[in-house]
Amino acid sequence: MANLNEFLAFSPEVAAARQAGLPLVALESTVISHGMPWPDNLATAQTLEAAVRDQGAVPATIAVIDGKVRIGLSPGELERLARGEEPVQKLSRRDLAIRLCLGGLGATTVAATMVAARAAGIQVFATGGIGGVHRGAQQSFDISADLSELARTPVAVVCAGAKSILDLPLTLEVLETLGVPVLGYATARFPAFYSRDSGLPVDARVDSPSAIAHVCRTHWGLGLQSGVLVTHPVPAELALDPAVAEAAIAQALGEALDQGIRGKDTTPFLLARVKALTGGESLKTNVALIQNNARLAAQVAVALAASAGR
C-alpha cells in the first residue's frame, strides 16, 4: 500500500533544515496558481518566502509536481506554477492521489497543504484565509474541506480569519463543533480577511508567538489531534473598509449565481471579481495580510523549535 511519505520530495534547503532541526513554515501554492494574477503571484510567493527567512525560519512552499509532493520549491518550480502556461489543478485532500498518479501540476489548498505538512513533520503553516461555510450552504451544502482538515490534522494554521466571501458565523460554529481552537493574535475578535474585525469573538486572545506555541504544545500534548487556528488581522492601514468589501462581495456572489459558478471554481471567481470591483485594492490587502501571516508563522515556528530543545 502506498504511503504519502514515499511521494515526498524535499528541496535542498528544506532537507538541510530538517537535518539541522531548524524551524520550518509550510506555505500553500494555490495562492500562486489560483489566488493572484501573473506576475503578482510570483512576486508574492517570493516575498512570502523572504518574510519567513527574515524571521529565522525556513519556508517550505508545497505543490504536487510531476508525481511528487514537493516540500520546498525551486525558483523555476515557483515560476512554472505562476505563469499559467500549463494546467494547474487545485488540490484538496481528495485530489492528492489522483494528481500524483496522473502527473502534471497541482497547487495545494489549505487542506492539502496541511496533509503534506504533517507528513513532512512541519508544525506551522501560513496562509491568507481559510475556506469555510459558504453563504447559502443550507441549500448548497458547500462547506470547505479546510474545516474537516483542521479537525483531524495537528498543524498550527496562521491566517487572517476565513475569507470574507463566506458565512463567518456558521464557519465559527462548525469550527467549534469540530473541536478546533481559534486564537486571536493581539485581538479578541475574529478577523474578516479584508477587514480587521468581523464582530465575532475568538476563543482566546494571545499576545506573543511564545504564547501561541505554548497553546499548541499543550493542545497536542493532551492527545488532541486537531489543528490550532491562529487568526491575525491585516494591518490597519491596508485593511479594506468593511462596507466597501461587503458591497463588492455581494455583487460578486450575485454574478456567480447568475453564471452558475459553484464548487472549487467559486472562490477564485469571487476573489477575481472583488479585485475588479474594488479597483485592485483587495489584491493589495490580500498580499499584505498573507505577508503579515508568514512573518507571524515564522515567529511561532521559532518559538516551537526553541521549546522543543528545552
Catalytic positions are: 28, 163
55: cell is 524571521
Q: If DSSP states are collapsed to H, E and C, what string results for the chain?
A: CCCHHHHEEECHHHHHHHHHCCCEEEECCHHHHHHCCCCHHHHHHHHHHHHHHHCCCEEEEEEEECCEEEECCCHHHHHHHHHCCCCEEEECHHHHHHHHHHCCEEEECHHHHHHHHHHHCCCEEECCCECCEECCHHHHCCECHHHHHHHHCCCEEEECEECCCECHHHHHHHHHHCCCCEEEECCCECCECCECCCCCECCEEECCHHHHHHHHHHHHHCCCCCCEEEECCCCHHHCCCHHHHHHHHHHHHHHHHHHCCCHHHHHHHHHHHHHHHCCCHHHHHHHHHHHHHHHHHHHHHHHHHHHHCC
**Which three cell numbers mark 186?**
493581539
